[in-house]
Amino acid sequence: MSISASRRVFWLCMIFFCIAPILAQSNMTAAAPSTATTPPMGWNSGNHFAEHVTDADVRAAADAMVSSGMRDAGYVYENIDDTWEGQRDAQGFIHTNSKFPDMKALADYVHSKGLKLGIYSSPGPKTCAGYEGSYGHEAQDAQTYAQWGIDYLKYDLCSYGYIMKTQSHGDQQVAWAMMQQAYETMHQALLQTHRPIVFSLCQYGFNAVWKWAPNVGGNLWRTTGDINDTWNRMALIGFSQAGLAPYAGPGHWNDPDMLEVGNGGMTDNEYRTHMSLWAMLAAPLLAGNDLSKMTPETKSILMNKDVLAVDQDSLGKQGDRVSAIGPFEVWSKPLANGEEAVALFNRGTSYYPISFHLKDVGFTQPVQARDLWSHKDIGTIQDSYTAVVPRHGVVMLRLKPLKP
Ligand code: GLA
């Protein structure tokens, strides 16, 4: 047998005799069902502060989450993205760098505000920004996070892609198995801490991650590459989520990446579309803007309680596309108590009337409707509804059956 064939046999044996039983067992020991029963909501430092984020920024953001009303609207996770990492000590334990002098004290501060603290690492030796990753130190890192009081871990593939490439010798199936195993290793390490830590997989959607992420303890998993603060990128990512609804549910969510609302690169109509679409997708809502400088419009978008209620609905179903005629799309999302959210999206470049029939969104009887952006009840819909929707804009409704 050639060396590459024997490597393949080795990895296939690993998958069947080592990895598969661990995955099967992890179903039984997966994170408590009380973790992320609705899509996680919070704030992440990456979109606004990127590599400049400091302890002071995170404390100021915690203060702003409280004073702005974001915390009370449901945004409770405050997540530090890449670049907090320092060096390992002689025993292999990770330490923070000089931007974060005392992570435990920071966690205590964040907790004192009624918030939870998230952190970031990679299964690779280096993070995407070139800082220390968890490769070979997963148990120690999970233990350290738990000691600090961390409540959420974003685990970003980054340099582990290189390990996969070199160790799989170009065998894609072996590479994918290694990737799943890397996430499972950290999952087991987190379980060993006995602290509920939300586990966020970030590997950009490779290998249909939605099909296996819950089996490696994923509470959420990125389904795409990085978002940025442009209409084109946001729309490409958001509307490409059609079809993924069967994979989401309480405790495990598709994650089309953080919100860009308030960062300045889109119009308010475009940000309303972004917010509506993420809510229809039951997506995690991680704001990524400067919370100390929010315009009233940004606040009204991020804290629209009617739209947040759609995202956080207890039924935990992700919405999906009902129809698309050119750039005019109708999406619906089942809600608890037989209600339904419907969004009319205009991806085109001028005002346009968009319609739907009740039967297209599952109703055989008339419904009462509420407009979730004007916050007005719009009365009974007997059969169909048409709204004129602005360029790159949205009309979002909540429908309630007249007869239960
Ligand atoms: C990757 C992730 C981003 C962000 C950066 C940080 O690109 O997908 O969300 O965490 O790394 O380096």
Q: Sort residue 307 into left (φ over 0), alpha (ψ -120 to 50) or beta.
A: alpha
Q: Probe ligand 1: pick from 48, 81, 155, max atoms within 8 Å of CB?
A: 81
Q: Band of the pLDDT at 34, cuts 50, 70, 90?
A: confident
The model's confidence at residue 404, banded by pLDDT at 50, 70 and 90, is low
pLDDT at 10 over 50: no
* Ramachandran category for residue 198: left, alpha or beta (phi over 0 → left; psi -120 to 50 → alpha): beta
Question: Is 129 in a helix, a strand, or coil?
Answer: coil
Q: Which atom of ligand 1 is nearest to the CA of 120?
A: 10
Closest CA to 251 of 196, 202, 177: 196
Compute, in angstroms, the gap from residue 128 CA to the centroid of ligand 1: 6
268 catalytically annotated: no
Rounded to the nearest integer, the mean pLDDT of the chain is 93
Mutate which of 156, 237, 255, 260 for ligand 1 pocket (most atoms within 8 A of beta carbon): 156
Specify whether 156 is catalytic: yes
Contact 397, 372 (CB under 8 A): yes
Amino acid at 11: W
> Span 351-356, mean pLDDT?
98
- The residue among 32 and 130 whose pLDDT is bigger is 130
Residue 193 Cα to chain centre, angstroms: 23
pLDDT digits (tens, 9 = 90+) for 201-235: 999 999 999 999 999 999 999 999 999 999 999 99
User: For residue 207, what are the contacts with CB-CB under 8 A and spacing of at least 6?
Assistant: 176, 179, 180
pLDDT at 13 over 50: no
Query: pLDDT tens-digit profile of 108-149?
Result: 999 999 999 999 999 999 999 999 999 999 999 999 999 999
What pLDDT does residue 23 have? 43
pLDDT of residue 330: 98
Judge whether 127 and 121 are in contact, CB under 8 Å: yes
287 SS3 class: strand
The phi and psi torsions of 8 (rounded to 5 degrees) equal -65, -45
The Cα 61–Cα 52 span in angstroms is 14
Mean pLDDT throughout 349-365?
97
CB 228 within 8 A of CB 48: no
Is 50 exceeded by the pLDDT of residue 311?
yes
- At 403 the pLDDT is 77
